[in-house]
Amino acid sequence: MRLYVFRSDSSGALRAFAGDMAGSRLPAQFRPWRVVGAVAPDAAPPYGLSRACIVTAIDAHGFQLWRLKAKANAD
């Protein structure tokens, strides 16, 4: 399964995986969603996330949400 990666414009650090390029089942409360990439069926998802967990969530709910961590300042 190709995984599509989305970014929420309303919640900057929020990302999602979906199984369709339109993101038709992404949560409405975080719209608008913008597709920012894709993960090929034979490639590993970014940030060490588990493909099996992502696919299970997409099969059950139509999407998998995740949040980027804030970068630490080098003060």
Alpha-carbon gap, residue 40 to 74, rounded angstroms: 34
Residue 3: what pLDDT? 98
Determine the pLDDT at residue 38.
Answer: 98
* Phi, psi dihedral angles at 36 (to 5 degrees): -120, 0
**Strand pairing of 14-18 and 3-8?**
antiparallel
Please give the chain's pLDDT, 75 residues, in tens.
999 999 999 998 999 999 999 999 999 999 999 999 999 999 999 999 999 999 999 999 999 999 988 776 655
pTM of the predicted model over 0.85: yes
pLDDT score of 52 = 97
Query: Quick one: pLDDT at residue 25?
Result: 97
Question: What residue segments make up the domains of the chain, in order of their start?
Answer: 3-67
| Tokens describing residue 65 | 């949400």
Residue 68 in contact with residue 13, Cβ under 8 Å? yes
